[in-house]
Structure 1
Amino acid sequence: MTPVRVGVFGLLGSGNLGNDGSLEAVLGYLRAEQPEAVVDALCGGPEVVAARYRIPATRLHWYRGEYRTASRAGAVAGKGLGKLVDAVRTAAWVRRHDVVIVPGMGVLEATLPLRPWGFPYALFLLCASGRLLGTRVALVGVGAAPIGDRPTRALVRWSARLAAYRSYRDAQSRDAMRAMGVDTARDEVYPDLAFALPAPPPGPAGRVCVGVMDFHGGNDDRARADEIHRRYLEGTTRFVRALAEEGRQVRLLTGDACDAPVVAAILGAVDSPLVTAAGAASLADLMKEAAAADAVVATRYHNLVCALKTGTPTLALSYAAKSDALMDRMGLGAYCHPAREVDADRLIEQFRALEKHSAELRRTLAERNRVAARQLGRQFAALTAALFPVTDHALRETP
């Protein structure tokens, strides 16, 4: 029997630990349920993906400066030519596969600054190629949100329409796609794929983890991006300083390589031996940090996922509806604080309340994690039925 050919697609291996965690969860599923499958990737960081996950990987964009601002004529021409070359490259890659999976990630949203001719265009090329060439494209456990920019919204809407399978990581994502004109009657909602990753055992407690982010607002906040970043950094720094002045150990976490300047700024401003930074290289590393904490205060979505997965009481510096939805789903909806308007005094009050109810919240998280595990089991069963019905039947019939 010819092995099924599976591709994985996205901004993977590019420094975002959440994206890579979603990939890791899907690879775990494939190795368990489709062990004979031949898997490779079309992704942002092919060298990282090939080395870390031991699968062949191809660069997503032909033009290497795709995500840098094009200020010179040569760069503008390179980007323009890249769009044409990528259409051919993507179609050729898709044609070699039976199935392509887009594992999690916020591929249908613009909650952070995003240009339409970057990743949204790449996703449209993928889904259009799949429809034209008969390759099933699956958007698995993805995030979506209302999009104001018309070109971006159009590319996202058509990508979703052309996909053979869609599931979402929260109900708000499905609602957003329905509002954009996508028929979601058969689309299901499941927990984020990262909840399928194994959780580490609890470590020695005694510190507070604070997950920080190079946050400048969303796609519609470009005019006041600097102000948003300044307020976020000042409020977060004040909160970390208050903890250190109380003698608390604080561990700074990130979720993307671009967050390093924020860590450096906080370390420089607080200047305390009680405040240190973690060198996490994966979601597993982040989970180990969170498991060893009394509490977590975090901004990035997958920092929150890691903390909640380990059952650690968590307070969200929320920058999008997806964070609020995640916290509510896990029973901690009362512990959200707006990342665009960080008020250090109010944040400290919320943190006190979080710690006061720590034991109760840990019990709540344990139960919600059990529910999430069962729901993700149903997600993977549905994925097998949708993408691998022929191979699944053939394997059952094999004597």
Structure 2
Amino acid sequence: MKPGGGTRVRGGETPVRVGVFGLLGSGNLGNDGSLEAVLGYLRADHPDAAVDALCGGPEVVATRYRIPATRLHWYRGEYRTASRLGAIVGKGLGKFVDVFRTAAWVRRHDVVIVPGMGVLEATLPLRPWGFPYSLFLLCASGRLFGTRVALVGVGAAPIGDRPTRALVCWSARLAAYRSYRDAQSRDALQGMGVDTARDEVHPDLAFALPTPGESAPAESALGSPGPVCVGVMDFHGGNDDRARAEEIHRRYLEGTTRFVRALAEEGRPVRLLTGDECDATVVAAILDAVDSPLVTAAETASLADLMKETAAADTVVATRYHNLICALKVGTPTLALSYAAKSDALMAQMGLDAYCHPAREVDADRLLEQFRELEQRSAELRRTLTERNLAATRRLEHQFTALTAAVFPATDRTRAQVQAHTDANANAHALREIP
């Protein structure tokens, strides 16, 4: 008998209890896309599982994905700056209360999945007592109560701040399963002292999402160029850039605005994309500065919406990681305004590593040169993306099979799924060996 709950699954008698955990439903489309991919896997491979969430936006998750959801933090102002005594006391008390809330929630589950997200990195401003502390509570509770915590397709990066690094590394060590969205993430965690020898690397979970019906690039009958999607971000640098955050943001905004203005002056329609609610201020600033009917803002509420927008474009230039993934997944030639190593790694995986531009130093003239070169190679790059997307789909099928084998209670059904996948891989390998 598992403490605090029913018997573990044996022969399908009791549904396995699965929790999903993270800053989900909080306005970040990439995080929610990772959740959607994992829910798709659970519904396909574990349809009898009882699934619920401990997350940042429980109302959104419960409404959109139709699963029970609990608020991640007891204190509702967790991610607001605490400047008054009452808020400081509330935050401190919340950290104590969350120890017991997290433990009680974890104890009710057989498996907890952290779906994707950059949970082992600090490439954006991050305090150790924020999400790193919450992740540590989760993984420590899992180890204490025998609940298998799986960090699935997560991102990691070297962390300079010692308290944050310690919490992240101990969380990773306490997890029962780890996989990463790129090799650099695994290498970063190993460089911080975690043994990653048995961990696997797979494409980002968003590549497992269904691709909406794609539109042809909107090129006119006369052959005039079609629209360009420009994905923007409320970018202020990373965790180590706090002292010059405003300068970084100003340079990013000025360079991106100059680029958008140049496209509009050439007669190119531009669609501004976001990936988080906070990006709206950047969209508003660009629209105000450029003031052209050719520049419009797309309303996107999911990665599916982003994929529809990018599929209809000739070319995409984007900053946010999941803006890039959506464009690459639908096969649209893409240029990355890269703010972290994960963007560079993603572009290299998809064969577009020549088309990265630093988000901290946006040079509009150089960006235009790269953009024009990208468009000249459009047909060739579309073929490359088709091939790379097929490979990503196959690798994610292996990811989900490995996850089932590693953390789910063994039943006749799961054994059959793992054996079928193993046999299919063996057959494919044998066919490749035939001269």
Same fold (TM over 0.5): yes
Match of 2:85? 73
For each residue in 1:202-227, what CA deviation from the matched residue of structure 2 results, as whole angstroms up to 9, or x when unmatched? 31422000000000000000000000
In 2, the alpha carbon distance for the partners of 1:79 and 1:392 equals: 46
CA–CA distance in 2 between the matches of 1:101 and 1:357?
Answer: 40
1:99 maps onto 2:111 in alignment: yes
Q: In structure 1, the residue corresponding to 2:75 is in which secondary structure?
A: coil
Give runs of aligned pairs for residues 242-321 of structure 1, distance below 5 A: 242-321=262-341
Equivalent pair of 1:4/1:391 in contact (CA under 8 Å): no
Whole-angstrom distance in 1 between the partners of 2:68 and 2:16: 15
Paired with 1:218 and 1:118, the residues of 2 have a C-alpha distance of 16
Q: 1:392 to 1:28 in 2, by over 3 A?
A: farther
> Structure 2 length normalisation: TM-score?
0.90
Contact in 2 for aligned 1:316/1:336 (Cα 8 Å) = yes
Mapped partners of 2:199, 2:415: distance in 1: 27
2: CA distance between counterparts of 1:392 and 1:255? 41
Q: 1:323 aligns with which of 311, 321, 343?
A: 343
Alignment correspondent of 1:183: 195
The number of equivalent residue pairs is: 397
Residue 4 of structure 1 corresponds to 16
- For residues 125-274 of structure 1, what are the structure 2 equivalents within 5 Å? 125-204=137-216, 205=218, 206-274=226-294
Deviations 1:262-316 (A, max 9, x none): 0000000000000000010000000000000000000000000000000000000
Note if contact 1:101-1:140 (Cα within 8 Å) is conserved in structure 2: yes
State the distance in 2 between where 1:395 and 1:210 align.
Answer: 46
Preserved CA contact (<8 Å) 1:287 1:307: yes
2:53 alignment partner, SS class = strand
1:28 matched residue in structure 2: 40
Question: For structure 1, which runs of at least 5 residues remain unmatched after alignment?
Answer: none
8 A Cα contact 2:271 2:297, kept in partner: yes
Task: Tell me the equivalent position of 2:221.
Answer: none
What's the counterpart of residue 398 of structure 2?
378
Query: Do the aligned residues in 2 keep the contact of 1:239 with 1:347 (CA within 8 Å)?
Result: yes
The 1-side partners of 2:135 and 2:251 are apart by: 33
Please state whether the residue corresponding to 1:63 is helix, strand or coil.
Answer: coil
SS at match of 2:30: helix
Quick one: which of 47, 65, 70 aligns to 1:53? 65
Q: Secondary structure at the match of 1:81?
A: helix
Aligned residue type for 1:215 = F
Measured after TM superposition, the shift of residue 389 of structure 1 is 4.3
The CA distance in 1 between the partners of 2:412 and 2:249, in whole Å, is 50
Shift of the 142–392 alpha-carbon distance from structure 1 to 2, 3 Å rule, reads farther
Query: C-alpha distance in 2, partners of 1:276/1:394?
Result: 48
What residue identity is the alignment partner of 1:39?
Answer: V
Distance 2:208 2:55 in 1: 22
- Partner SS for 2:15: coil
CA deviations over 1:364-391 (Å, ceiling 9, x no partner) = 0000000000100100110110112413
Q: Quote how far apart the aligned CAs of 1:200 are.
A: 2.2
For the pair 1:359 / 2:379, whether they are aligned, the reply is yes
Residues 318-338 of structure 1, C-alpha deviations (whole Å, 9 max, x = no match): 000000000000000000000
Normalised TM-score (structure 1): 0.98
CA distance in 2, matches of 1:86, 1:132: 16
What secondary structure, in the 3-state scheme, does the structure 1 residue paired with 2:411 have?
Answer: helix
| 3-state SS, counterpart of residue 129 of structure 2 | coil
In the superposition, relative to structure 1, how do residues 242 and 89 fare at CA in structure 2: closer, same or farther (>3 Å)? same
In 1, distance between residues paired with 2:161 and 2:76?
Answer: 25
1:12-60 Cα deviation digits (max 9, x unpaired): 0000000000000000000000000000000000000000000000000
1:40 counterpart (52, 71, 91): 52
In 2: Cα distance, 1:392 partner to 1:160 partner: 30
One-letter identity of the residue aligned with 1:388: F
Write the distance in 1 (CA, Å) between the matches of 2:415 and 2:249. 54
Unaligned runs of 5+ in 2: 1-12, 219-225, 418-435
Alignment match, 1:13: 25
Q: Distance in 2 between matches of 1:394 and 1:347?
A: 49
Amino acid at match of 1:117: W
Question: Do the aligned partners of 2:23 and 2:56 also contact (CA within 8 Å) in 1?
Answer: yes
Letter in 2 for 1:374: R
Whether contact under 8 Å (2:16, 2:50) holds in the other structure is yes
Does the CA contact (< 8 Å) of 1:384 and 1:392 recur in 2?
no
Corresponding position of 2:430:
none
Q: Which residue of 1 aligns with 2:426?
A: none
- CA–CA distance in 2 between the matches of 1:210 and 1:198? 23
